[in-house]
Structure 1
Amino acid sequence: MWEQHVCGYLTNVPCTSQPEEMWFDQHTLYTPSSSQLRASFSYTPTTPTAGQTVTFTATASGGTSPYSYSWNFGDGTTGTGSTTTHAYSSAGPYTATLMVVDSGIPPHTATSQQTITVKSPPPLSASFTFNPSSPQAQQQVTFTGTATGGTSPYSFSWTFGDNSTGTGATVSHAYASSGSYTVTLTVKDSSTSQQTATTQQTVSVSNPAPTLTGSFTYSPASPQAGQFVSFTGSASGGTPPYSFSWSFGDGSTGTGSSVTHAYSSAGSYTVTLSIKDGGSPQQTATSQQTISVTNPSSTLTASFTYTPSSPQTGQSVTFTGTASGGTSPYTFTWSFGDGSTGTGASTTHTYSLVGSYAVTLTVVDSGSPQQTTTSQRTISVANPPPLSAGLTFSPASPDAGQSVSFTASASGGTSPYSYSWSFGDGGTASGNLVSHSFASAGSYTVTLSVTDSGGQRVQASKTVTVNAQLSGSFSYSPSSPLPLEAVTFSATGSGGAQPYSYSWDFGDGTTANGQTVRHSYLLPGSYVVTLTITDASGQRFTTSQTVIVLTNIV
């Protein structure tokens, strides 16, 4: 390659030199270029599909810039420019050639080739979503389509099932009436051999929500200036969720279903609640009430009660304070006279020592300026009476294996009490109501131990006499009776607690009661006779025998 220079004054290149003088003439000279021209290119995507746009980017170096670029894409088409795009109409390998020509004199040329493998596009598929999922008539429904595979870009067309249509990946539509509508999305890609995909969904449209209504309550019903008023709004109908906004009639506003507000001065205020639902079209409802705010009442007063009225050491005492006047809400603080304190309208305290204590209640209101008042009472605390304990049990004459209920009682000392039992047979339990079964007959000393919250402990005992388990048997005569012949049944009971009661089932649908009974069978056969013995403690014993009634001998 050669570079061009022009001789003359401006380039300081002499054209002719004479000994006497130097002069310049315009001639053209050529010098070699600095480096060889080189060309290369890249393309993206690296694995294109048929119908997909491929971007080619050329790079040139050496030679003389600027450069000119020409392309042959290997499928009979060409292009120009350092960056160009091309879409191959069908799959296959293509040899793309880049030719770069520089601006030298003479111009130089460089080429670069690469083989591009074009694949067939994957199958086109389509899907869509819609929102809301349970639309109402006249409500705007947003449909959003998606497509994969094929060759982008895609075209989207919709039929909404009510003779309406739309285009675009995202569309909106409102149904005029309720019903079920089959929505069809058709997607076409941009490939030469164009692909088409369809998908369908059924949209269930319901009738619009009922008319939106709203109301509210407030507390207290007769507020005072400076007092916080709680407002609670409610809504029905329309389409949830709801939004609540308030105007309190004094230039103040609020939001939310539950709000609080304090009026600075007395007067009548019109409170307005505005509710909007979440439907489309959106519904709005308002509710108004007039609230009368009065000035704070007269002087703040306080008092309190306590229970029990004659408390004992170690016993929990409940104090209940009340306040009137001033501006609610009130704060309550307590001094119990023994160095202990408490807070709240109702509180509890336990005195550890005998004595008289001056209890002071201090109440502060919420007014501005704030009012404070106190109430004082003297409480006398005594020692508790001696602790005592007792027990009962039922049944009074239990049988072996029968569940016996034990009940503890305690008095005196300092409640609450704890109870523990020893049943005399190695068994134990805790609690004021327990039950226990003795495995065998005999006399058992049951001991109850009671401990109060002050640490005192007493015991009470009783002897429980346990009977042997109830049993019994019966006999009958004659041993081989005939039809219509009287049979005598005799029962015997033992164990348990007397007296006993006896009940019979003769196996032929008839019954009887008593220790000794008579019965005749109408027909020959085998009959299962069952005796049930019940003792005085309610225990039962059952035994059975089979009686065979013979056929009459003629």
Structure 2
Amino acid sequence: MADSGGSSASARRSAVAVLAAALVVAAAGVGGAVGAVSGSTTTQAAGSNPVEFVYVDDSTSEITFMRADGTTVGTGVSDAAIVGPMADLDDDGLLEASYVTTGAGVKAVDANGETQMLVEDGDASTGKVGVGDWTGDGVPEVVYADANNQLRYVNVSGSPTAVGGGEANTVLGVTDFDGSGTTDVVFVGTSKELNYYDGSETVETQYGGFANSDAAGAPADIYGDGELWVPVIDGSQYPEIVNSTGTDREFRETSNNTDKQPVAAVDWVGNDTHEIIHSQNAELAYTRADGTTRKVTDADGATVSIDESAGVARVASRPAGLSVSEFAATATGDQNVTVNVATNHDLSELNVTLGGPETAALTLAAGDFEETGTDPYSYTATYDGETDGEYTATLESAASAGDATSGNTDTATVDDRVPAVESVNLTDATNGDGDVEAGDEVTVNATVSGDVDSVTADLSAFDAGTVTLTGDTGSYEANATVGTDADDGDQNATVTASDGEGNTDSATTGALTVDTENLSVALNDTKTVEVGQSAEFSPANVSGSTGDVTYDWRFGDGNSSSGETVTHTYSESGTYTVEVTATDGTEDTTSDTMNVTVENPPVVESVNLTDATDGNGTVSPGDEVTVNATVSGSVDSVTADLSAFDAGTVELVAEGGTYTNTTTVGANVTEGAHSATVTATGASGTEDSATTETLDVVVDELTVTVGDDRTVGVNETIEYDASVAGATGDVTYEWTFGDGESATGETVTHAYADAGTYTVEVTATDDAGTASDETNVTVEDAPVVESATLTDATNGNGIVAPEDNVTVSATVSGDIASVEADLSAFDAGTVTLTGDGTGSYEANATVGPNATDGDQNVTVVATGNQGNEDAGETGALTVDTENLSVALNDTKTVEEGQSVEFSPASVSDATGSVDYDWSFDDGDTASGKTVTHTFDADGTYKVILTADDGSGDADKASMSVTVTADETTIEGTTTTDSSTTTDSSTTTDSSTTTDSSTTTAPPATTTSEPTGGDGGDGGTNDPAGSSDDETDPVATATATATPTTGDSADATTARPTESTTATATTAPTTERPPTATATATVTETTAEPGAENVPPQSPGEAPGFGTVAALVALLAAAALALRE
């Protein structure tokens, strides 16, 4: 297959390979190497032959590492869809290659073929992943695009976590792409453009020349000048590079048959300038900056077939070099030598030789070493020797991930002539009864064989310390005095023989009983535990015991237990008394009690970490953060670990059921997203914890933010506030508002005179430089209610009742968020009007049962998006919720010819003005609230009143009027001036003789104040109304009484006769008709006492009745005059 110069390069590489092989063979013949190393192992030191990139071998389908010399390491893993960058992801000293699986998951694999699942299948996109330390914890993470194109990161010990930024198809790298000092996630967006996200904002480079979203690689320092470039295959299949500003440079010659798949930037030819490693016709190739393209060959000079769809990926970061922190050889008895090796890497190779009386080789490959721990990784091997003497252990080689070390040595001396304790004895040297107390003597004896340097006995239980036994010929002895602090009970001694070389043997004597005081047991005074907590109980102090002590416990809730240390769980809160009874070997018994308070355990219900400085979620040194927690149950303390913010651990203070603390971010905080762990501790020491969400920490670099875009109204004054982070020294602020106006200061206000869209920009300047931010402001006109109408939607008569419908309409212009109408007078609350898009708004509502009677209107309020309001008021509708009711008095009695006044006794629930129509049952009618009528004939009449309030409501009422005949003659004379004409009418009995003489008394005049009333029987109320100036007519009454006596032919029938005349006169006024005068004359005749032939008297014939009747008539006439 033609390769534009690749053949000569392949030949040169083959020649070099043959020469290298010859040198290796020669070195092997001279140096006596421990063993041959295959091409797939990792024995070379980092830097001499490091892994350079990873790909998928087309012939084996395995993920394969390629070293600088062309040797390859197959992993045995074949489920990769796309390979990603390499780094030490699990801190084991080995490089792991990240990759996207064929099932759309994310995994990592090292050179030993060990895989780790990072993201489950189906949860990731099918694009490339990036690798780097995004969280700033010193361990690289894998950053990927999930199935929804959202950026997430994951490490080997955690769960996927959201990163932020825009939507992504492919992640290229995690590094300081733009040289700003902030770690960026570099990715290809869903629009196939190169972007990067720094934790607070996404920068769009405007570069979009990718052949596809995966046809790119991790950023690299191509020229060694510190500037990072992304390698790309463009749409024409040419390699090129692009930087953070979107500037691209082509690596182009003439051919453009590069496969459109992932690539890597690697210094492959060793010229300090990176080449682009890519797939060309399914084989590995590289292109230089000058456009020259060559095939990559392996250590044998052969081209390398590649699964081009999986692409190529570089090393993102390398682990620290291999180092040995411990190398030790130790004689471990029975002529054994144990070798311990500790390293900072997980070793792939370990070879140790032993020299001395015997020789041996200990290797990791042969399974001689047992591996434990991580960082350090510990390796232990034991050689089972048969000869005493000095052994020397030598580290021949230790290798990991291409790094290797050797040369460590250590020695160990083996001495197999160990001492043997054959027998031991402990006796009571005071009285031999086996019981000892303070001041008694004890004796220790031992028989020891072998190489003996010293024999000791541990008599600490007898408060006698450690004593040395003396003797010879194998027998050893020592005496000791029991001390005052000896331990009561059965105690023995341990005898130890040593050869001085580290070999020992021990044996334990029989026991003596120590009894120094009476048994005593004590418990702590109190204990606080929590419901459901397994609480441990044991005596706080036990003294004076002899022999074994037994313990019986009662827990106060009906449960018991035995043993020196017991546990118990309370199921309910409360206070309990716990009792323990102790009994020793001498049957001494004692008891003690304690109180136990059982409380509910603490539970951290919720936690929150907020930016207390400006609330933008990003903090810097000197800013404040607030931790809030809601905790239930028994709480002794609540703390928050803010060490990630260089604020240590703080205690939260209770405030109304919650706990809070505001703390200043320290100067030594590191950049990244940090959280706080809140821990609630109960009174008994139980804990519950919860971790807050994260806040982003930005250090040093000045940033300024002005807030989100907003919409305001014309002439609305808005406050703008700038928030800075990473400031050095004092900060000044300059603002422009996009309308020609400007301002200075951290907080400013501005109002726009015209509608439109404006850009507000703030520039912050500190001692180190400047930073800017901007926001867009949309200015809209305030709302205006042009017109508002209210209509009766039921029958259009303008009068509504419950269950009727009304319609509110309005014409509104300007910025409109909502239009509402207050229909509370109609018991319909506040309703929202719906617009038709042309400025017309309408809503329908039903009148409720609690509507307010009368004329009611509606206020329509239009509200703009910025809270501006305008209102308009509709015309009125009449509300009628209750039926009209009218009532009259039941009866009335009047005289024929008498003018009588009628008005309603009561009127209720009227809507508007009321019309009154009267019917008098004699053919006459009248209208008005108050009317008068004169009945011309006696009899009984039914008066009917019909009332109508104009709303459709009408009601009727009736009353009975009795009209009586008038037996008293009342003559009325009408005059137009102040003179009075009086007619006298005399009524006489046929049997009475009346004298013609008449005596007239002077008139008596009575003047009354105006009176009036509304409704009722006999009241007066001028329908036209009367003012305070009006005066009722003067009523003048004149009464004349004339006694007459006459003689008849029969003296026995003669009766005196008395005549009484009453006259009522009404004076004229300007407000009334002419004066009316009425005169009544009553004549009565009385018989002499004892007169004969006198018929029986009626009451009217009784003496003096005439005068009374005249007075009554006078009063009636006066009343009649007043009613006129």
Higher strand share: 1
TM-score (norm 2): 0.16
Higher RCO (CA-CA < 8 Å; seq separation 6+): 1
TM-score (norm 1): 0.28
Higher helix share: 2
